[in-house]
Amino acid sequence: MDHSDNKLKQYALGVLAHLLLLLAWYLFVRLGDVPKFVMPSPGDTLHALFVPNYDWWANTLVTATEIFGGYALALGVGVLLALLFTWSKTLEALVLPLLVTLNMIPKVALGPLIIVWFKYGVFPNAMMAFSIAVFPILLTTARGLREVEPDLLDLVRSLKGSRWQLFTKIQLPGALPYVFAGMKVAAILAVAGAVVGEFLGSDRGLGYLMLQVQVTLDTPAMFMAVILITLLGMLLYGLVLLLELWLVPKDARVS
């Protein structure tokens, strides 16, 4: 009962913090007599959502596709590479340093090259999200796979278990806390990667829309685009948290 009360208190404090931020935003604009083009009120920002010319639904769907698509690809590739590294130390020694070097390339500098290679569209922006999200998943998953008890692995091998059985029955369940730790970091990075891709070159999406309304100084629309991007990130992060609650025991989670 005490644990449930503590959780409820944490959620209530989180909601209260957001409400206080909203109130502070409203008071700052109203009491400070701040012009709308500098900082709109919450009401002005909400009103921008009903401007039909901006096609909010379609642009939000495009950005969501880029974020979730790039994130899903990063998850699959990151876990697969981590698994291959645990199977072959030679492969790890050969490929991991190269991946570290490639990860050092600023993604803003990588963006124009991706556009040259793949043109404008959802796919290159999803690739931007993938490129920035895959590395934390790879590193944390590889660490988690190494943390599995060697004696347990030897036991399964002695029973003629296949590599796939070893992975699905022993390694992956034991590594899940580390996988989810990387997934939570990657969820944040995937949002940033997709939006950076839209800023660099796109003809659709919330990032593209922000650049369009910036020309006309429609600050309420810019604020609304930021809010929608934030909500997409919160949705992705929330889904990761729900999966973690479902699949990983509480005492095994990595904070």
- Residue 100's contacts (CB-CB under 8 Å, 6 or more residues apart) are none
Q: What is the rounded distance in angstroms from the CA atom of residue 44 to the CA atom of residue 168?
A: 52
- pLDDT of 240 above 50: yes
State the pLDDT at residue 52.
81
**Maximal CA-CA distance, the chain:** 75
Phi and psi torsions of 132, nearest 5°: -90, -20
Look at the domain 40-252 and name its fold.
MetI-like fold (1.10.3720)
Domain boundaries along the sequence of the chain: 1-34, 40-252
- The whole-number average pLDDT for the span 171-188 is 87
pTM: 0.84
- The whole-number average pLDDT for the span 197-201 is 84
Q: What is the rounded distance in angstroms from the CA atom of residue 22 to the CA atom of residue 51?
A: 22
- pLDDT of 1 above 50: no
